[in-house]
Structure 1
């Protein structure tokens, strides 16, 4: 039978909540978060105290680390040896700690992330500056508590004669709290403490005259003084930290980038590996070789560049895409009054000053107590010497030591401590010289007592003692600043040429969405008709452009895809190509209608959109420059069931011709269309009637040579001169271009403006593609229906017509210039 009286019936949530609450409190207060007063976590404090207690100090020989770890575990820290040894090692690593607290012989790890040697191989001792954290701990300066098994005592906090938390920083993660406090320069921090003592209401601006910002042991460059200021004001802030890199010239006009300092807490081996991966994967052009030339004289990573490589561009790319530049986020949480607290710079300084006030007060009280006790004894000795014969006679007549003390206290009014000192007095101390020295000692003690009492009675004198002590430490351990600070965060601009090898390629785009780039060699070795297309698909663009250019692909649903040419798949001319959805996802019913190559998104260029429901929209090209392009972007705002029928790039001074399916054509100047934003819907292009829609909108600038070619659904094609039309204004009805028939009327399937050499393609209902050379047709007036070019009884109606894309070089003139 289970004895129910031994068990409590409690809700599971309550039990778990209580246990986890206790665990959280423990790891916050006693494991992961440092104390605001001495800047140490419990394990660090216990290691330093154990080494001090065992006299394993900087002026004594090194001792095996295993011995120290054993003492710490056995006496103070009942946890695993690895946690103690790792904490010991970290305090000795010059690339982690600004002023090391432990000196170590042997392998204590490396900036490459190599592990330290086992503790049986390494030796350690306290550093000189660590002794300043423990100085005067025997003078009752801090509270002691029993250790875990009540066999010994350990300090709650160390006297910390310098502000260790700011000097060495701290990092840790506990339950619900994390901390990230960067290291600082000892000289600057002590200056700030003194400023705060002299001017308790000092602002962050005042303190930042002393503390410029963090000073990392690995050096580097901090950018963003506003982030430092915000962190010092609130405890949270963000800065950019980058390595120190310089460009050196080599023979033959080549250059190399030399990195001599890394951002704090960055693994050098991983960084070098990343540099080499970028070279091998050709993510960045221009890197010839990466070498780690680090030796005992200092860190040195060399990135050798190819001839004529853009060294500034490569360096900016490395800053942006590797840990050569990182963000550092301040999160200044520390234990203050037994509570985890996000603290400002002023809060840290106040906590430290308050701690020093208590330490120096207790130290002075201890010294005063000792001085008064000694003065009392010296006074008794002087009195005893003045009546020496009587004292000797009394002692000689006594039975034993205790009786002698009683007789002295009874006959001469000596106190118990004085009597003890007299009976234990050595005979040689009764010489004349010693009497003089006793009198001198008494005078010195009175001065000391007066000084200590004045310190305890005056806040000002107390603070002077603290400041004097800090200045001595500053003078002894002064070091120059390692980290450089720059006010602004540099914007990293990377030329595309740095990442992409500049190469002219042929880019083809089909209506069904198959895109590819082909090397000019592959194209030259094939016939133009060798290209593979799916049934019913056809080319909408075929142009020679550079890998550093951009392709804008527009869909009938009013979206556009921003595709850098170098990201297009490199495929042979004969092969099909890759579907655009592999680059950017689009809907199944979306079709590509236009591909526009762009070299620069310049101010004086525009995009002109025509929609099926008779709208036209004009927007500056630069608005289509996208920073993120992993999905389709909005090119035009379409209403209801509207679709885009055509898109053109213009210089803002073109002629516009819009045609409807019922045979109306309208000609006007581009200036009739106002410029609007990227997501706007546009304005009315042409007036439409019921069941009428726009077949196409064209732009042109030469008024003399172009011909207007029109194909109807019945397979008729006719060519007209522009002179058949009058230039009008936007949103009008336009002029009729077909003779109206009562039965089987012609409807426009396609309208194209062509020049002398252009070829028109059209597609019939059976999916076949056919071609017509417009200049073989006679010119007609507006009232004819043209000549039949296909028998639609056999093929089905003509469904669409377009100008056949020819191999072109859109930027040829720019290149020649």
Structure 2
């Protein structure tokens, strides 16, 4: 099996899938061109049915399926695949939309004029020949290829263990490079690239990445960006239109239009109104009509990045050189072609010389015979037959065998003085030609001059302007969220249990107040109308920060539960979101106040909590906790414009202190902070709130007692003090603070929510309760036996 697979691999590498470096053709292409030329199906004659050409190729040279032969023939006629098509076709030969060609019984084909240059001099022993598959006739091993077809038309193919992708190039540029290499065999790549600037695709487009082109020409491998040629046109009503006039090589136009339209339908970007293919016989044209007042450049960049409007082309310059598959540099490809062309010119010159010498021999014999015509006639008349006449001429007049044969075959009407004059002229002309042929064969410089002149004449006859534009750098496509995210207002909810969702305002308004999709014992901790371009920061009690752009939050109906945060971010079992803050931009200038249960506090600038690349799957750290049992108890965003804040810190066992916010230092995300309060024994901080002189502390205890305490009752002191007692000490069943909030006098009539360990909610209106002194435990508002012990108190959601 190993031996047979090796033979099979060798066969498809050498005789099917890879082009030859000399003529740039695969065997099937070579056989098609040769068979059509042999059949007289050339550019200066009429078209013939493609089926006839396919039949000739299949019957005489290529024993494979007719469909593969026809596909190869059609491809050589497609001017969007080949820079210089080798076949001309009448009828449907496919399209850039991927449409299949008409069946070969309907189409007609002939060789193009430039294909004639591929086959020129093939009848002058310029190439080697081998027997065909059934040994009935000979076929060429390679075509003379009088222009560098491998680089001009490129190649693509996949064989066993090898693949090739050689892009098309400009005919004039490649010929100039061959001539430059001919003059200077030691030319560097930089010198050759003065002529071959890069690929030149038949579909045009813009090529980016001069360094990658150079790398590809140096090593045979490289990757360039090929983008469509576009222009932005202004329309009435402050609208714009992106006009695409050239697309990347081998991109299916229909699929490209479909890709762009799918982006429009799915609203992956907001701003595309309509996509139309307006291509006609005058050329390619795709119209992308935009909505009013949108970022046309941003939309174009998004399309470059997410559709085939821009693609990567990977050079893989593999071809058969000396019967081996080789990855070629530009110089080696040109050098191999140049050596082959020198061989072609040399063999052709030798053929012409031999033919001229043979004719010279005949002409000299005829001239000699005419000078002694009577004697020659007498000898011929005296001979028995043609053979003896030829023998007698050789014996008596010292003619060569070829001369004697031509004299014997000479017709009587040729025996005139005029013929002698013509023969003398022909002899002189032959002498000149023979001298020139011998000079070419004797002097490589003369041979190179002939080759150079022939290449220049081909360039003059067939060269065209460059179609692809080359840009030095591959543009780094930056896409603004203004383009990718629709500008839409939504309702965003984050629940106590960690569910989050966004819903349309229409869905929200169509639902009842309590139909928020959450379980009966869950409740929202954040609910706000936001824009899809806003940003959400969610802080957990274990010092982790979860970032989400609003448009990335699961979009559901308001009646649905939404997505649990653990589906994307791994959190500990006892970890939960305690604070959610929304922002319009990620360039805010404010800071966060962060306090922990073990008595630490800090300020951290907004800029130090910006999301990293892995925000989708990993939470970042915003607070480094010193003790494993510690929790973050407070996270508050402080706008940069707000000044003269005070802090009120309270502990579980009823101690409270107050000091200026300015005493809290700024520190980084992965720091713990400074001492907020002097804790004794097993006491813990339950909260840290911003306050002013006229603020009121709304306090709840584990026994269900509620108390209003004026902040002014707590003396203003320095940071890190133990503070003063704000509860009445009891020996039996002492009260412990489980939570407090700082409220202003003008909000005293707004209900606060008290949450219990049985996941019950009890509302309390502060104005219904009197102001208390420090040594008071307030009044009982929650029945702990039926509702459970209070664990926190919160202001209502906005």
Under a length normalisation based on structure 2, what TM-score does the superposition of the two structures give?
0.90
Select which of 17, 23, 27 maps to 1:32: 17
- Asked whether 1:769 is paired with 2:766, we answer no
Higher deviation after alignment, 746-755 or 60-69: 746-755
State the partner residue of 2:701.
712
Q: Deviations over 1:662-715 (max 9, x none)?
A: 5566756478544536xx3554555767755554455x4x64444444433333
Are the counterparts in 2 of residues 560 and 632 from structure 1 also a CA contact under 8 Å? no
Measure how far apart 1:781 and its partner are: 6.5
3-state SS of paired residue (2:237):
helix
Alpha-carbon separation, structure 2, partners of 1:515 and 1:536: 16
**Conserved 8 A contact 2:169-2:201:** yes
Residue of structure 2 equivalent to 1:402:
387
SS in 1 for 2:123: helix
User: 1:235 Cα shift?
Assistant: 1.6
Counterparts of 1:177-196 in structure 2, within 5 Å, are 177-196=162-181
- For 2:218 and 2:599, how far apart are their aligned partners in 1? 59
Match of 1:462 in 2: 447
Segment of structure 1 superposing worse, 342-351 or 742-751: 742-751
Deviation at 1:394, TM superposition (A): 2.4
Q: Does 1:370 align with 2:355?
A: yes
Q: Report if the CA contact (8 A) 1:708-1:722 is conserved.
A: no
Distance 1:715 1:441, change over 3 A: same
Other-structure match for 1:800: 792
Tell me, in whole angstroms, the C-alpha distance in 2 between the residues paired with 1:663 and 1:37: 93
Tell me if 1:300 matches 2:318. Answer: no
> For 2:714, which of 690, 704, 724 is the aligned residue?
724
Deviates more, 1:35-44 or 1:234-243: 234-243
Provide Cα deviations, 1:31-55, integer angstroms capped at 9, x if missing partner. Answer: 1111122111111111111111111
Deviations 1:67-118 (A, max 9, x none): 1111111111111111101000011111111111000111111111111111
Question: CA shift at 1:798, angstroms?
Answer: 2.2
Provide the C-alpha distance between the structure 1 equivalents of 2:631 and 2:67, rounded to a whole number of angstroms: 68
| Distance in 1 between residues matched to 2:289 and 2:332, nearest whole Å | 48
Q: Which stretch has the larger CA shift, 272-281 or 207-216?
A: 272-281
Task: Tell me, in whole angstroms, the C-alpha distance in 1 between the residues paired with 2:682 and 2:9.
Answer: 73
Q: What is the Cα deviation at residue 723 of structure 1?
A: 7.2
For 1:273, which of 246, 251, 258 is the aligned residue? 258
Residue 285 of structure 1: CA displacement?
A: 2.4
Match of 2:378 in 1: 393
Residue aligned with 1:790, SS: coil
Q: Deviations over 1:159-206 (max 9, x none)?
A: 111111111111111222211111111111112222222232333332
Structure 1 range deviating more: 50-59 or 531-540: 531-540
> Once the two structures are superposed, what CA deviation does each residue of 1:341-370 show, in whole Å capped at 9, x if it has no partner?
222222211121121122222222222222
- Secondary structure, in 3 states, of the residue corresponding to 1:543? strand
Instruction: Check if 1:104 corresponds to 2:89.
Output: yes
Q: Deviations over 1:311-367 (max 9, x none)?
A: 333333322222122222222211222222222222211121121122222222222
Aligned ranges 1:468-617 → 2 under 5 Å: 468-520=453-505, 531=516, 533-556=518-541, 558-569=543-554, 575-581=559-565, 584=568, 586=570, 589=573, 590-602=575-587, 604-607=589-592, 609-611=594-596
Q: Within 2, Cα distance between the matches of 1:119 and 1:152?
A: 26
Check if 1:633 corresponds to 2:619.
yes
Q: Alpha carbons of 1:561 and 1:21: their partners in 2 closer, same or farther (altered >3 Å)?
A: farther
Q: Is 1:649 paired with 2:637?
A: yes
SS at match of 1:172: strand
Asked if structure 2 preserves the Cα contact closer than 8 Å seen for 1:46 and 1:76, the reply is yes
Is the Cα–Cα contact under 8 Å of residues 28 and 340 in structure 1 kept in the other structure?
yes
Aligned to 1:290: 275
Q: What CA distance in whole angstroms lies between the structure 2 residues aligned with 1:230 and 1:673?
A: 54
Cα distance in 1 for partners of 2:292, 2:367 equals: 91
Match 1:422 to one of 383, 388, 407: 407
Structure 1, 251-260 or 151-160: larger mean CA deviation? 251-260
Deviates more, 1:105-114 or 1:333-342: 333-342
Q: Can you give the 5+ residue segments of structure 1 that lack an aligned partner in the other structure? A: 1-15, 808-817
Q: 1:56 to 1:708 in 2, by over 3 A?
A: same
**CA distance 1:587–1:57, change in 2 (3 Å):** same
> Structure 1 stretch 182-191 or stretch 771-780: which is displaced more?
771-780
Could you say if the C-alpha distance between residues 761 and 444 of structure 1 is closer, same or farther in structure 2, counting changes exceeding 3 Å?
same
Q: How many residues align structurally?
A: 784
1:549 Cα deviation (Å)? 1.5
C-alpha distance in structure 1 between counterparts of 2:672 and 2:248, whole Å: 51
Q: Does the 8 A contact of 2:491 with 2:527 survive in 1?
A: yes
Say whether 1:755 aligns with 2:744: yes
Residue from 204, 213, 226 that aligns with 2:198: 213
1:160 is aligned to 2:145: yes
Is the 8 Å Cα contact of residues 590 and 606 (structure 2) preserved in structure 1? yes
Q: Is the 8 A contact 2:554 2:563 kept in 1?
A: no
In 2, the alpha carbon distance for the partners of 1:685 and 1:338 equals 80
1:122 paired residue number:
107
C-alpha distance in structure 1 between counterparts of 2:613 and 2:333, whole Å:
42
Is this contact kept in 1: 2:207–2:227, CA < 8 A?
yes
Judged with a 3 Å threshold, the aligned counterparts in structure 2 of structure 1 residues 674 and 82 are, in CA distance, closer, same or farther, namely same
- Residue 430 of structure 2 is aligned to residue 445 of structure 1: yes
Superposition RMSD on alpha carbons, in Å?
Answer: 3.1
Equivalent residue for 1:8? none
Deviation at 1:562, TM superposition (A): 3.7
Gaps of 5+ in 2: none
After TM superposition, the score normalised by the length of structure 1 is 0.88
CA distance in 1, matches of 2:410, 2:654: 132
Q: Aligned match of 2:52 in 67, 77, 82?
A: 67
Contact 2:609/2:622 (8 A) holds in 1: no
Distance (whole Å) between structure 2 residues aligned to residue 208 and residue 741 of structure 1: 93
Asked if 1:332 is matched to 2:332, the reply is no
Q: Verify the 8 A CA contact 1:749 1:798 in the aligned structure 2.
A: yes
